[in-house]
Amino acid sequence: MRYLSSDEVKQLEVKANSIRQSIIEMLSEAGSGHTAGPLDMADVFTLLYFGILKHDPKNPDWEERDRVILSNGHICPVLYATLAHAGYFDVEELLTLRKFGSRLQGHPHKGALPGIETSSGPLGSGLSQAVGMAIAERMNNQFSSKFFYCLTGDGELQEGQIWEAAMLAGKEKLHNLIIIVDRNGFQIDGYTQDVMPMEPLAEKFEAFNFDVQEVDGHSMRALNDAIGKAQAVYSQPSVIIAHTIGSKGVDVFERDFRWHGNPPGKGPEDRVPKDEQAKVALEKLRTLAGLIDKDNHA
């Protein structure tokens, strides 16, 4: 496991903030799409692509790369923004999200854009694919150090297929599989605990023979430590339940499930009028919600 210095943590946090700004800009330009999940997973994505993964943005098909399988495809703005910031393609292209002819489809399409490992959107099937990849890799190379990071939502875990896949992962003792759950506690229709309670979630995964960790999904250090530990577990697949705050980074959008499926400009109006939502969100991010003077922030 590699420890992060304070400087590295700071750099990652600044990067995550830039990625969040891109997410707001692209969603606002697209006029549709999901806001809460992409914002709350920005820290996880930043850490993965700028601190954890073996990958090469200039050679996206590099055979030895780790794989990131986005199972909850609807949070793709954070994947696209992170890939662009990591150098897979130009940041300017982010503004084509969801437009006709764009490589940035409303939900990811494998082959359309470098760095996309699978098409996803219909929930629950990404984990199965990650399991298939991890099994195939072990067939190819018993001593492989390649990891398969499957990112899922928490509402997504209501899909039966997730547990079919989890059963197989447990049976096959897929040590190279690491699931990271975005545990923001809500989904389109409301709070997960009301729509379909997922707790006790850790115990569910334990019962399926996973190594389970619960962490603060916004702490670079906590996430880094958890991923490091998951990599070191050899006898089981791992799941990291990342507790996140929906819409993290834009305080006036945070913790409100109505931001799950709406872009800035079309979200709930009680805290910010629709036509100011994108502007306010960018301002909040640039100034870290007023903590710093935006004019002096690089």
Partner 1 sequence: MFAEHLNDNLKNGGEVDKAPTRNGYGEGLLEAGKRDDRVVALCCDLTESTRTHLFAEAFPERFVQVGIAEQNLASVGSGMAAMGKIPFISSYAMFSPGRSWEQIRTTICYNNSNVKIVGAHAGVSVGPDGATHQAVEDMAIMRALPNMIVVAPADEHEARKVALAAAKHEGPIYFRLGRSATPVVTTPESPFEIGKAELMFKRDESLEQKVGIISTGSLLYNALKAAEALQADGIGASVLHMATVKPLDTEAVIEFAKEHGSIVTVEEHQKIGGLGSAVAETLSENYPTKMARVGVDDVFGESGEPDELIENFGMGVGSIVEAGKSLT
Which residues sit at the interface with partner 1, rule CB under 8 A?
69, 109-111, 117-122, 124-126, 128-137, 139-140, 160-161, 164-165, 167-168, 171-172
Q: Which pairs from 215-219 meet CB under 8 Å and 24+ separation?
A: 215/240, 215/241, 215/242, 215/243, 216/242, 216/243, 217/40, 217/41, 217/43, 217/44, 217/182, 217/183, 217/242, 217/243, 217/244, 218/40, 218/43, 218/244, 218/245, 218/248, 219/43
DSSP annotation of 49 reads I
Q: E strand or H helix at 194, and its extent?
A: helix 192-195
Rounded Cα–Cα distance for residues 181 and 129 (Å): 16
For the CB of residue 280, give the shortest distance to partner 1 in the complex, in Å. Answer: 36
Q: E strand or H helix at 86, and its extent?
A: helix 76-86
For the CB of residue 286, give the shortest distance to partner 1 in the complex, in Å. Answer: 37
For the CB of residue 169, give the shortest distance to partner 1 in the complex, in Å. Answer: 10
For the CB of residue 35, give the shortest distance to partner 1 in the complex, in Å. Answer: 24
For the CB of residue 69, give the shortest distance to partner 1 in the complex, in Å. Answer: 8
Question: Could you tell me how far CA 247 lies from the centroid of its own chain?
Answer: 12
Tokens coding 56:
């090469």
For the CB of residue 48, give the shortest distance to partner 1 in the complex, in Å. Answer: 19
In the complex with partner 1, which residue's Cβ is closer, 144 or 193? 144
Classify strands 148-153 and 211-216 as parallel, antiparallel or unpaired: unpaired
In the complex with partner 1, which residue's Cβ is closer, 124 or 261? 124
| Closest C-alpha among 59, 109, 113 to residue 84 | 113
